[in-house]
Amino acid sequence: MTTIAGARHAGRAPRSQLLARLVTGAVIAVVFLLPVLYVLMIAFETDSHYASNPMVPPSSLHLQNFSAAWTQGDIGRQLVNTVLYAVVASAVATALALLIAYPLARRLVRGHNLVYGLVAVGLFLPFSIIPLFIEARSLHLFNNTPGYIILHIEPGMPLGVILLTAFITAVPGELDEAAWVDGVSYLKYMSRVIVPLTRPALLITFLYGMLGVWNDIIGPVALLGPTSTNLFPITRGIYNFYSGYQNNYPVFAAAVILASLPLVAVFAGTQRQLIRAAIAGSVKG
Amino acid sequence: MTAAPSAAAEAAAAGQPLADRRTLARLRRIGVKRSRRGRQARLLSASSRTVMWAGLLLGLCVYAAFGLAPAVLNVLFSFTSYSLYPGAPVSWAGLQNYTTMFTSELPGVEPALVATAVFVVAVTVLQNVIALAVAHRLVGDSRWNGFLRLLVFLPIVLGVTIVGSIWLIIFNPTQSPAASLWGLFGANSAFFGSDSLAMPLVIGVQVWQNIGFTAFVFIGALKAINPDIYQAAALDGVSRWTRLRRITWPLLAPAVTVNVLLAVVGSATLYSLIYVLTSGDHGTMTLGMLSFNEAFTNADLGFGAALATMLFAITLIVAVPLMVYLRGRERRLLA
């Protein structure tokens, strides 16, 4: 009965439906891929070719745009700055989230529910750049590397605490007791037992924290001085590049491609984790 | 709100069975909790306990200083005449920033309210409708679908600056795909520099960038629906459309709640994409963008903070009843 009905149902998925799936798939691919491919294309065009035929692919690859973008945009230095800011800030955020999450998950402190709620609410607080700027200026965190990093730690923490608390709750408490009876120190226990067992949550916390710092554009504009070009991350570099080189789109496109490559590489390496976390709905947009 | 249970789902998905939470809860209810905590804490050596407290407090201090404090200080600063220029005298302004806002001495607040409303409504509706269609198409686990999911997610990874740059190139007024297309009809436009087109374009790019998250929450919800329900319905000869309306749609209600709320709060408070695309010119000056501009372009931090506070208040006033309504809708549909 079931098989007959099932087969009839499957058989009813007619050619028109298959065609519809093909068309909708193609539409999604075009809408999301074509804009990126177009930028990639003109990054290889000479300025004159672009000026006369912006829609026609170049006959030969013009690589000078990339070297021009690299030197004019100071992209190397900006990428180094960005990696430094993003990796350090997010690593610290992840570590602090773990140090908060463990005592909360194990209910080792009084009021753990209240503290958890206070941290979780951070996911829904608006990013208040004005008071952050005033704080930065009075705490000497404005316009310098350590300050910029310190100011970017907090945004990654609420998600980390939420994820890690859930993960640590899943680790049997008997493990803790066994280790502590044997006199293992707290930090050693963290690094040897809890870190390996919560690795997926740590990775997601780190990755989303890193992307947040990497892609921030409001922070670089408000928390770094306008002339401190040596401190600029890549986002502010690209933003300034656009204002400065509006008449040379191929070079600007090359700069955009160069700035995207590290992100695409990170994405290629971690897409499984990033997408799984997004499908689980555990990260906000 | 929804993050904790889904985090647990994530833990389960990662192959780590949640420790028998229900048993633990039962033990706790009958009073095992206190002795458990006492015993565990006692097992920790004094030095380990100090380290644990130090780590916890350090983390909470960073969070309080740069997460909670700015949110509170924002309100405080909105009653001052704080200036961007260092060393300028700061004084209490009382309600002056707010009266300025409402007496329209300073033009721009009213248009900003309108722009914010248009932006939020358009982005929320478009993002959810399109994401639902995309999710419905990409829920299956074929290789081709996996590739399409990567594409849909890419703009989130690339971030606002690169996404904004891509679309600035494509809508460059002189030589670009958009200019060529307009040229076919003998027309031209300044696109992001046009008073009529800037807002629709900014809305479009915002949706393009964030569709991935919204779609993936829907995909997660669609995957969670038990296929047996569809099979049973198919056996009973229920039509495709009815199945969609009577089974899929009600079971998606919690995902709709999450997505609508995230889209409303996100599009109301975030302005980074607008900053990259138009800096708020040509009718795209939302309240968030105006707050940033007043603070960092017009050097009036106090007034900027007042605008941000008002934006936060409006977002709450809209989001909380909306959440209550959507939760009620969930209960109605799932009853």
Please write the tens of the pLDDT for every residue from A151-175.
Answer: 999 999 999 999 999 999 998 888 8
CA B286 vs CA A11, B38, B155, B167, B297: distances in Å? 52, 53, 22, 20, 15
- Of A261-275, B92-106, B281-295, the range with the lowest mean pLDDT is B92-106
pLDDT tens digits, one per residue of A106-127: 998 889 999 999 999 988 887 8
Average pLDDT over residues B20-36: 52
Euclidean distance between CA atoms A285 and B207, whole angstroms? 11
- Of A46-55, A75-84, A191-200, B206-215, the range with the lowest mean pLDDT is A46-55
Euclidean distance between CA atoms A125 and A111, whole angstroms? 21
Euclidean distance between CA atoms B61 and A42, whole angstroms? 48
Q: Which residues of A touch B208 (CB under 8 A)?
A: 31-32
Yes or no, beta carbons of A281 and B8 under 8 Å apart: no
Band of the pLDDT at A182, cuts 50, 70, 90?
Answer: confident
Q: Which residues of B touch A54 (CB under 8 A)?
A: 175-177, 179-180
Closest CA in chain B for residue A210: B157
pLDDT value of position B18:
45
pLDDT value of position A282:
58
Residue A139 in 3-state DSSP?
A: coil
Yes or no, beta carbons of A125 and B71 under 8 Å apart: yes
- Cβ neighbours for B52, distance < 8 A, ≥ 6 positions apart: A99, A102, A103, A108, A186, B44
Percent of chain A with pLDDT over 90: 69
Average pLDDT over residues A258-272: 94
A185 reaches B (C-beta below 8 A): yes
Q: Which residues of A touch B74 (CB under 8 A)?
A: 128, 130-131
pLDDT greater than 70 at residue B23 = no
pLDDT value of position B82:
87
Task: Annotate A33-65 with DSSP letters as a single string.
Answer: HHHHHHHHHHHTS-HHHHHH-TTSPPSS--THH
Euclidean distance between CA atoms A68 and A241, whole angstroms? 12
pLDDT greater than 60 at residue A141 = yes
pLDDT greater than 50 at residue B279 = yes
Map chain B to HEC letters.
CCHHHHHHHHHHHCCCCCCCHHHHHHHHHCCHHHHHHHHHHHHCCHHHHHHHHHHHHHHHHHHHHHHHHHHHHHHHHCCECCECCCCCCCCECCCHHHHHHHHCCCCCHHHHHHHHHHHHHHHHHHHHHHHHHHHHHHCCCCHHHHHHHHHHHHHHHHHHHHHHHHHHHHCCCCCCHHHHHHHHCCCCCCHHHCCCCHHHHHHHHHHHHHHHHHHHHHHHHHHHCCHHHHHHHHHCCCCHHHHHHHHHHHHCHHHHHHHHHHHHHHHHHCCHHHHHHCCCCCCCCCHHHHHHHHHHCCCEHHHHHHHHHHHHHHHHHHHHHHHHHHHHHHHHHHC
Average pLDDT over residues B245-270: 92
Average pLDDT, chain B: 86
Q: What is the ipTM of this complex?
A: 0.91
pLDDT value of position B41:
62
Closest CA in chain A for residue B53: A103
Q: Tokens 């897409």 belong to which residue? A: A271
pLDDT value of position B42:
66
pLDDT greater than 80 at residue B176 = yes
pLDDT value of position B46:
85
CB pairs under 8 A between A and B: 338
Average pLDDT, chain A: 89
pLDDT value of position A12:
53
Average pLDDT over residues B205-214: 96
Q: Which residues of B touch A33 (CB under 8 A)?
A: 151
B300 phi/psi in degrees, rounded to 5: -105, 85
Does A49 or A222 have the greater pLDDT score? A222
B71 phi/psi in degrees, rounded to 5: -65, -40
Name residue B83's beta-bridge partners: B300
pLDDT greater than 60 at residue B317 = yes
A163 reaches B (C-beta below 8 A): yes
Percent of chain B with pLDDT over 90: 62
pLDDT greater than 90 at residue B90 = no
Euclidean distance between CA atoms B238 and B280, whole angstroms? 50
Closest CA in chain A for residue B213: A285
pLDDT value of position B6:
43
pLDDT tens digits, one per residue of B146-170: 999 999 999 999 999 999 999 999 9
pLDDT greater than 80 at residue B2 = no
Does B1 or B173 have the greater pLDDT score? B173
pLDDT greater than 60 at residue B31 = no
Residue type, B250: P
Euclidean distance between CA atoms B309 and B298, whole angstroms? 18
Q: For an interface test with A, give the residue of B1, B6, B10 to mutate (most A CBs within 10 A).
A: B10
- Of A67-71, A75-79, A274-278, B157-161, the range with the lowest mean pLDDT is A274-278
Band of the pLDDT at B309, cuts 50, 70, 90?
Answer: very high
Contact, A76 vs A255, CB < 8 A? Answer: no
